[in-house]
């Protein structure tokens, strides 16, 4: 597939059917397509917007998309069956179309399956884990099977009684020398694997974390990863000793076939333990044969990729809410004319910070993803920078999911009652972000991991060590902000970095002053440490955003827009955390009042003509949004009525229960 040429946008301005939305697009002070190409179109840009456009067109050309009702109108069996049909067909179509690049295939699968690709975890996390955690022989054996989807895996770590604390996992793998195999069991109720996506009905293998015992039950060797077959590859029947099932009803269909797993004396070959970092030989002797830190690679990769998903989800939510706000009128002005709700300052207060945050999150993902990919090319450098990388990946996943969930809810509220319909498109986004604050790492647990790294770095600074600091934390040695006013973008970055530095010094002092054990001290101060981690991530996001603004130096119109979005993100974040800036004597209450009540509303006014063009620049296809309210053409009300009439409940003129009542047959029901 040709990925080099520029592809036409999904829509042209002439596709706008709503006159009010057309007015919004005609008010733009910049060229939307040129801005999209600048932000997302460069050949080295992860988003590869031109390739993505071509992939979307290929995915939507298939006739299957015109054969079914909207997903919210399907019952549980219909929903699951359609997801599997589309997912398997997507794999075949990608092969037929010769889409071989992993990222491009994931995009194709996502669009083709209406955002519900059944083997998403297998693609994004499990295959990567097999590739990075297997020895060369295992890679030759397992990777072709995984990449051809002959085997499909569920990442099976979380248990009913334990999640983030891996040391407490109870699933066991005991080596049996006679059969050269491991015997796997979930020996207690709480050891039941619980929550993994695609585990209930879809995957035929599990990439399973278990506590290893070798050469026998008396010798624990820590947690290891095993590739465990769950189902017969020809019949899809569960194998002996394997019990799986769904953990919920309709929620399960939306969340991704989440399930539980119990194992009773299930045997896997010795060579099914992934052995890049540790191995067990034929006699059951356990030895480490590489750097155990390699295990972090798959986890960091997943957290960075999730941050991308959260940023895109927030961008979709704000696109829907902004377009709807441009066509919705409510209330009258003194002249008796209805007011467009996007013109209300209170509506702008809900939406503009969401828009600024979406752009901030998207560019921050690019920054961290590029850093991760560069480090991967040199294992020595990767391991040296692993503490920083782990802290950033954990913190960004926590920040983008938790803040994104709150902002997506603002988008939902901004759409009024219609925003609560599944047909709005925002409910699914909000629910996804809500679940994501817990999935693949609870928010506060991840923040504490980031805080531990910051504490080590500030201790290095306080000890006056000659050791250097990682780039993301170098501000710990910078001079504290002492300016009277913020003049430019760099001033805001410096201000936020000074806040994080002072919070880090306070946290270190609390740790040293305590007479409690290190564990008890950390626990006692965990609230402050989470705040420290958030402050650190805000400095990283703002630095990443500033870097993108600087790239626009030769594009004055783009530069102005990006600067305005930067200021909105910075001031909105600052006012939400104002207690820190006041308490640390970085700003006065009066200064924050001026920023919040003078400068921020002024920024909303200046951005107002470009709000719709800025969400158009995300370049989402209507199918991606799956929203009646956020359609590009602006026909929100027509779309709502069309969707309502498709509801199967409307097919019966008189519902069966009322027929029975009116015919006097209620007693027979």
Question: What average pLDDT does the segment 595-610 reach?
Answer: 97
256 is in an annotated binding site: no
Check residue 103 and give its pLDDT: 92
Asked whether 349 and 26 are in contact (CB, 8 A), the reply is no
- Burial of 601 (C-beta count, 10 Å sphere; 0-12/13-18/19+): middle
Fold of 298-617: Butyryl-CoA Dehydrogenase, subunit A; domain 3 (1.20.140)
Check residue 336 and give its pLDDT: 86
Check residue 663 and give its pLDDT: 86
- Burial of 156 (C-beta count, 10 Å sphere; 0-12/13-18/19+): buried
186 is in an annotated binding site: no
Rounded CA-CA distance 183/165 in Å is 23
Average pLDDT, the chain: 93
Domain ranges across the chain? 149-290, 298-617
- pTM listed for this prediction: 0.93
Closest alpha carbon to 239 in 206, 217, 272, 208: 206
Q: How many CA atoms lie within 13 A of 274 on its CB side?
A: 28
Rounded CA-CA distance 242/328 in Å is 54
| Active-site annotation holder among 170, 440, 497, 538 | 440
- 195: alpha, beta or left, given left = phi > 0 and alpha = psi -120 to 50? left
Q: What is the pLDDT of residues 289-310, one digit of tens each?
A: 877 777 777 789 889 999 999 9
Flag the least confident range among 75-79, 424-428, 501-505: 75-79
Reported confidence tier of residue 252, pLDDT bands at 50, 70, 90: very low
Radius of gyration of the chain (CA): 27
Rounded CA-CA distance 633/177 in Å is 67
Contacts of 307 by beta carbon, 8 Å cutoff, 6+ apart: 361, 364, 365, 368, 393, 396, 397, 400, 401
Check residue 171 and give its pLDDT: 97
Asked whether 190 and 160 are in contact (CB, 8 A), the reply is yes
Reported confidence tier of residue 664, pLDDT bands at 50, 70, 90: confident
Cis peptide before 215 (omega within 30 of 0): yes
Q: How many CA atoms lie within 13 A of 612 on its CB side?
A: 24
Q: What is the pLDDT of residues 537-559, one digit of tens each?
A: 999 999 999 999 999 999 999 99
Check residue 657 and give its pLDDT: 87
Instruction: Look at residue 43 and tell me whether its pLDDT is greater than 80.
Output: no
Cα 348 to the center of its chain, rounded Å = 25
Decide if 440 is catalytic.
yes
Q: Please tell me the CATH code under which domain 149-290 is placed.
A: 2.40.110.10
């Amino acid at each position: 597939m040709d990925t080099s040429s520029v592809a036409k946008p999904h829509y042209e301005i002439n596709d706008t059917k709503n006159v009010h939305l057309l007015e919004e697009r005609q008010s733009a002070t910049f060229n939307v397509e040129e801005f999209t190409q600048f932000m997302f179109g460069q050949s080295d840009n992860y988003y590869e917007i031109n390739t993505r456009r071509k992939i979307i067109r290929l995915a939507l050309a298939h006739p299957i998309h015109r054969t079914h009702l909207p997903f919210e109108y399907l019952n549980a069996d219909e929903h699951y069956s359609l997801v599997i049909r589309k997912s398997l067909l997507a794999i075949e179509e990608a092969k037929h179309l010769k889409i071989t690049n992993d990222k491009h295939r994931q995009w194709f699968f996502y669009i083709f399956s209406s955002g519900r690709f059944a083997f998403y975890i297998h693609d994004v996390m499990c295959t990567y884990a097999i590739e990075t955690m297997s020895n060369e022989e295992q890679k030759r054996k397992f990777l072709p099977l995984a990449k051809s989807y002959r085997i499909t895996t569920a990442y099976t770590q979380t248990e009913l009684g334990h999640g983030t604390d891996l040391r407490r996992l109870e699933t066991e793998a005991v080596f049996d020398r006679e059969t050269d195999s491991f015997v796997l069991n979930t020996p207690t109720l709480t050891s039941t694997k619980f929550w993994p996506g695609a585990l209930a009905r879809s995957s035929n293998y599990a990439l399973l974390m278990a506590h290893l015992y070798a050469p026998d039950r008396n010798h624990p060797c820590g947690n290891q990863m095993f590739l465990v077959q769950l189902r017969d590859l020809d019949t899809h029947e569960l194998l002996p000793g394997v019990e799986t099932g769904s953990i919920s009803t309709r929620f399960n269909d939306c969340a991704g076939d989440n399930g539980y797993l119990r194992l009773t004396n299930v045997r896997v070959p010795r060579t099914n333990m992934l052995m890049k970092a540790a191995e067990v030989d034929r006699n059951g002797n356990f030895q480490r044969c590489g750097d155990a830190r390699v295990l972090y690679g798959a986890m960091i990769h997943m957290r960075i990729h999730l941050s991308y998903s959260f940023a895109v989800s927030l961008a979709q939510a704000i696109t829907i809410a902004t377009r709807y706000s441009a066509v919705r009128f409510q209330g009258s002005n003194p002249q008796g004319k209805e007011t467009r709700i996007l013109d209300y300052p209170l509506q702008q207060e809900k939406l503009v910070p969401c828009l600024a945050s979406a752009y901030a999150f998207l560019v921050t993902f690019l920054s961290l993803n590029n850093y991760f990919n560069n480090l991967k090319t040199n294992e020595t450098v990767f391991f040296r920078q692993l503490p920083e990388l782990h802290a950033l990946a954990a913190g960004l996943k926590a920040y983008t999911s938790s803040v994104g969930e709150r902002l997506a809810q603002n988008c939902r509220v901004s759409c009024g009652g219609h925003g609560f319909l599944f047909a709005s498109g925002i409910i699914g986004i909000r629910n996804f972000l809500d679940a994501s604050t817990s999935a693949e790492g609870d928010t506060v647990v991840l923040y504490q991991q980031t805080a531990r790294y910051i504490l080590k770095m500030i201790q290095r600074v306080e000890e006056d060590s000659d050791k250097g600091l990682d780039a993301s934390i170098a501000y710990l040695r910078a001079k504290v902000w002492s300016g009277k006013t913020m003049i430019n973008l760099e001033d805001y970055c410096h201000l936020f970095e000074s806040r994080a530095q002072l919070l880090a010094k306070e946290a270190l002092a609390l740790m040293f002053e305590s007479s409690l054990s290190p564990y008890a001290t950390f626990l006692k101060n965990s609230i402050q440490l989470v705040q420290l981690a958030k402050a650190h991530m805000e400095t990283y996001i703002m630095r990443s955003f500033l870097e993108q603004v600087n790239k626009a130096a030769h594009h004055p119109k783009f530069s102005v827009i990006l600067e305005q979005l930067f200021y909105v993100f910075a001031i909105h974040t600052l006012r939400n955390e104002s207690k820190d800036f006041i308490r640390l004597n970085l700003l006065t209450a009066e200064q924050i009042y001026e920023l919040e009540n003078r400068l921020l509303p002024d920024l909303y006014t200046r951005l107002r003509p470009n709000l719709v063009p800025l969400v158009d620049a995300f370049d989402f296809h209507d199918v991606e949004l799956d929203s009646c309210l956020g359609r590009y053409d602006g026909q929100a009300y027509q779309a709502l009525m069309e969707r309502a009439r498709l509801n199967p409940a409307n097919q019966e003129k008189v519902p069966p229960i009322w027929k029975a009542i009116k015919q006097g047959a209620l007693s027979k029901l």
